[in-house]
């Protein structure tokens, strides 16, 4: 009974914990970098394109890693700021730069947050489809887990591998099957049961016999 209550509370509090973690991340400390680099990072985080442009014009390094060891392109991708991701790529940001202790790329960050437009843009600009984070998750694992059918379809159609496994030895299909319960219970997604059915059916239809 106590374990059941604990798990219920953990799932209930999960979104608040994530929000708190991201807030603390923004309030952390920079390790090096110029004032322009810091301005760039804050602007990329918050989605202020004009300030991003100003910082780059002042000489900011578009590949500078700021708080949490995130680069501006990864933090902008995670937060869904397509205009900033586009500007940074056009000004020399590495589309496949890997950041923080989880080895996140812009594609991984955007896929898990369900930012289709960012995913499509970085894929069109050469992002590695089968990149794996430190836990072995690929962008397809991420999108499947949260039940994001448009992103799953895009990645599969572009050739994402369906056989890669994460550290739990799960394929993307298996993360979708688990996500329809776990991700929903933890409020990590707004996907409906129908959207999960679409994801699962689409991946299954593209698996090799």
- Taking only the tens place, the pLDDT of each residue in 118-173 is 999 999 999 999 999 999 999 999 999 999 999 999 999 999 999 999 999 999 99
Partnered with residue 65 across adjacent β-strands are: 71
Query: Pick from 17, 86, 91: which is nearest to 60 by CA?
Result: 91
d(CA 108, CA 130): 9
Residue 2 has pLDDT above 80, yes or no: no
Model confidence at 13, pLDDT cuts 50, 70, 90, reads very low
More confident residue, 14 or 29: 29
Q: What is the largest CA-CA distance in the chain?
A: 59
What pTM did the predictor assign? 0.86
Window from 18-27, 38-47, 112-121 with minimum mean pLDDT: 18-27
Residue 43 has pLDDT above 90, yes or no: yes
Window from 13-17, 64-68, 180-184 with minimum mean pLDDT: 13-17
More confident residue, 144 or 97: 144
What pLDDT does 208 receive? 75
Q: What angle do CA 132, 134, 140 make, to 5 degrees?
A: 30
Mean pLDDT of 95-102: 82
Residue 17 has pLDDT above 90, yes or no: no
Model confidence at 23, pLDDT cuts 50, 70, 90, reads low
Q: Are 145 and 108 in contact (CB under 8 A)?
A: no
Residue 101 has pLDDT above 80, yes or no: no
What pLDDT does 7 receive? 39
Mean pLDDT of 20-37: 69
d(CA 70, CA 77): 11
């Amino acid at each position: 009974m106590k374990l059941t209550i604990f798990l219920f509370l953990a799932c209930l509090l999960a979104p608040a914990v994530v929000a708190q973690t991201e807030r603390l991340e923004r309030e952390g400390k920079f390790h090096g970098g110029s004032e322009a680099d810091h301005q760039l990072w804050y602007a990329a985080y918050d989605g202020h394109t004009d300030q991003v442009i100003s910082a780059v014009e002042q000489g900011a390094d578009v590949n500078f890693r700021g708080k949490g060891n995130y680069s501006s392109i990864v933090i902008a991708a995670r937060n869904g700021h397509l205009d900033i991701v586009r500007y940074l790529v056009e000004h020399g940001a590495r589309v496949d730069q890997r950041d923080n202790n989880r080895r996140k790329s812009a594609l991984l960050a955007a896929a898990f947050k369900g930012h289709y437009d960012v995913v499509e843009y970085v894929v069109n600009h050469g992002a590695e489809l089968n990149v794996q984070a430190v836990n072995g998750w690929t962008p397809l694992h991420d999108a499947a887990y949260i039940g994001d059918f448009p992103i799953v379809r895009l990645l599969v159609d572009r050739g994402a591998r369906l056989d890669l496994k994460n550290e739990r030895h799960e394929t993307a299909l298996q993360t979708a099957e688990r996500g329809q319960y776990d991700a929903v219970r933890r409020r990590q997604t707004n996907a409906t049961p129908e959207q999960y059915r679409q994801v699962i059916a689409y991946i299954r239809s593209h698996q090799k016999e």
